[in-house]
Amino acid sequence: MKATMSPKLGLGVNLTPQLLQSIRMLQLTAPQLEMELRQALERNPLLEQEEPEDDIDDACADAQLETAAWDELPEPSFLSGGSVGSDYDDAASRVAESASTDPRVRLLQSLALQWDARDLSIAAWWLDQCDDRGYLEAPLDELHLLGHGACNVDASELEIVRQRLLHGEWPGVAAVDAGECLRAQLSMQPESGARTLAMRILRDHVDLLAMHDEAALAKALRVDADAVRAAVALILTLRAHPIEDAPAREHDVIVPDVVAWRADGAWRVALNARSTPRVRIAAHCERALADAPGDVSALRGMLDEARWLVRGVTMRNDTLLRTARVLVERQRAYLEQGDEAIAPLTLREVADAIGMHESTVSRITSGKYLQTPRGTIELKRLFAVRLEGADVSGSAVKAMVKRLIDDEPAHAPLADDTIAGLLARQGVRVARRTVAKYRDQLAIAPARQRRRTPAVLAKAG
C-alpha cells in the first residue's frame, strides 16, 4: 500500500487559556464568582480588593473592546439555529461550569459525550420545538415538514433522532403527548405482567385512567381488579413530564446579580455591588516589578494572570449589565403589570440589541438573578416564545388561562373551548388544544373534574 498525503482546509478556533477563563467567567453566578475572586486574592499577591466607590468606568470601556475576543467564537447550533452537520465543535461548551438552569443545555451537554455532531444538532432542533415540560408544541406531521427544511434531512432521519430522545437519558422528551411520554418511560422498566398491562392502559384507555375508574379498566381489559391496581401503581411511579430539574445544591442561596428599580418615570438597572468583590492589580507592586533587577519571570507570570483575571471580570460585568438593561427595557410591561404582560422575546433579539452572539447571551443569563419590585427573578424568565399567529407570548396566554380559571364560578367551571372564546374576545386567538396544553402545564384538571355542586360548596363553607 502506498502512503499519500493530501492537503485539507478546515475552519477552527484556537482557544487560549486566557480566553477560556474569560468565557468561564460569563457562566459563574454571583456566589461562584465571589469564591473565585477570594481564592485569586489569596494566591496572587499582586491582586488587591477594590473598594466599591472606586471608579471603574475606564475598565468597562476597555472591556467593551475586548468582548469581541470571545464573541467571535462559533455558536452552538442549538442556540444559533445553524445548519446540521457542522464540522466545528464549540470548545467553549467544554469549559467546566455549574449545572445550567436551561434543561435543553443540560441534556445536550450530556448527549454530547456520546452522540455525533450531526445527530446532536438534530436533537437540538427537536428540543427547540418542545415546551417547558418537554412535549412537542406542534403536530408531528407539521414538525417533520418544518424539520426537513430547517435541518436538510428527511422525515425518517428526524424521527430516528426523536425516538432516541424519547427513549434516552430523559425518557419521554420530545413526546407528542402525555401518553407517549409515559409509554416511553414505561418501556424502560423491567418486563413484567404489570408493565404489559400498564402499556395497554396508556395506549387504549387513558380516559378511564384519568377518571380513576379501576372497575371500568378491569372490565375493558378483561382482567381482575388486583392486576389493574398493580398496573396503575406502576404508572403512578412515572414522571408527569420528562424535563428534569437542575440538580439542587446544599446551602444554595439566591443572590441577585443585577438590581432594577423605577425612578423618575424610567427603569434603572445596576449591578449588585454587594454580591461580588472587585479586584485590581496593586499599583505599587506593578511599578516595583517594572524596575526590578534579576530574574522575575515568575512574578511577571503572576502579573499577566492578574491582568487577565481583572479584564475577564470587567468584561463579564459589562456584558451582564448591558444584557440586563435590554431585558428590562423590553419587559417593562411585565415588571409593571405582571405575567399577562410578558412580551415575546428571544435570545437572538437580545443578542442583536447588544451586538453579540446568542451563545454569549445564553451563558451570561444562565443562573443569574434580577432583583425587582416584583421580587427576585431569574433572567431566563424574561425570555418568552411568541405564540404562533399572535402578537403575545405563550407565557402571557398561560397566565391569562390561569386567571380565567381562578375567577370561574365553582359550580360552572369553564371548558377549554369556552376559555379559547373568552381569549378571542380579548384579541388573543388560540386553539382549544392550546388552552388544554397550558391548563395541563398549570396542573389544573379538566372542567368536569373542577365542578363543585351546591351540596359540596355548602359542606365546604
pLDDT tens for each residue of 249-282: 444 567 788 999 988 888 999 988 776 667 887 7
Average pLDDT (222-229) is 89
Instruction: Report pTM.
Output: 0.54
Q: Looking at residue 252, what is its pLDDT?
A: 56
Question: For the residues 158-163, what does the mean pLDDT come to?
Answer: 93
Average pLDDT across the chain, whole number: 76
- Looking at residue 454, what is its pLDDT? 55
First to last CA, the chain: 91
Residue whose grid cell is 512574578: 299
Of residues 147 and 85, more confidently modeled: 147
- Alpha-carbon distance of 405 to 415, in angstroms, equals 9
Separation of alpha carbons 399 and 403, rounded Å: 6
Angle at 190 between CA 186 and CA 194, to 5 degrees: 70
- How far apart are alpha carbons 238 and 236 in whole angstroms? 5
* Exposed e or buried b per residue across 307-322, where buried means at least 16 C-beta atoms within 10 angstroms of its C-beta: ebbbbbbbbbbbbbbb
* Cα distance between residue 445 and residue 325, in whole Å: 39
Of the two residues 295 and 457, the one the predictor is more confident about is: 295
Q: Write the DSSP string, 132-181.
A: TTSBBSS-HHHHHHHHHHHHS--HHHHHHHHHHHHTSSSTTTTBSSHHHH
Percent of the chain with pLDDT over 70: 75
Domain chopping of the chain, boundaries: 178-236, 394-460
Question: What is the Cα–Cα distance from 116 to 155, expressed in whole angstroms?
Answer: 19
Residue 88 confidence class, pLDDT cut points 50, 70, 90: very low
pLDDT over threshold 50, residue 305? yes
CA-CA-CA-CA dihedral for 403, 406, 407, 412, to nearest 10:
130
CATH fold for the domain made of 394-460: Arc Repressor Mutant, subunit A (1.10.10)
The answer to whether 380 touches 366, Cβ cutoff 8 Å, is yes
Euclidean distance between CA atoms 286 and 48, whole angstroms: 12
**Mean local confidence (pLDDT), 229-251:** 72
pLDDT-based confidence at 203, cuts 50/70/90? confident
| Max Cα distance, the chain (Å) | 94
The residue with greater pLDDT, 19 or 342, is: 342
Per cent of the chain over pLDDT 90 is 9
Task: Find, among 187, 168, 72, the residue nearest to 119 by Cα.
Answer: 168
Q: What is the pLDDT of residue 73?
A: 41
Name the more confident of 260 and 26: 260
DSSP 8-state symbol, 100: P
Q: Determine which of 56-65, 72-81, 109-118, 172-181 has the lowest per-residue pLDDT on average.
A: 72-81
Residue 369 identity: Y
Residues 34 and 372 sit within 8 Å (Cβ to Cβ): no
Residue 48 in 3-state DSSP?
A: strand
Which contacts (CB < 8 Å, 24+ apart) does range 287-295 have? 289/46
Least confident window among 52-66, 109-123, 159-173, 361-375: 52-66
Contact at 8 Å (CB) between 310 and 48?
no
Q: 85 falls in which pLDDT band (50, 70, 90)?
A: very low
Quote the CA–CA distance of 192 and 180 in Å, as a whole number.
Answer: 19
User: What is the rounded average pLDDT of the residues 328-340?
Assistant: 89
pLDDT average, residue stretch 132-158: 87
User: What are the beta bridge partners of residue 279?
Assistant: 49
Q: Is the pLDDT of residue 452 over 90?
A: no
Q: Which of 458, 401, 405, 407 is nearest to 433 (CA)?
A: 401
The pLDDT of 449-454, averaged and rounded, is 71
| Per-residue confidence (pLDDT) for residue 24, from 0 to 100 | 73
pLDDT number for residue 444: 86
Residue 457 or 223, more confident: 223
Residue 157: per-residue pLDDT: 92
Q: Higher-confidence residue: 199 or 32?
A: 199
Confidence of residue 330 (pLDDT cuts 50, 70, 90): very high
At 393-419, the pLDDT tens digits run 777 888 888 889 888 888 888 888 888
pLDDT at 67 over 50: no
pLDDT value for 353:
93
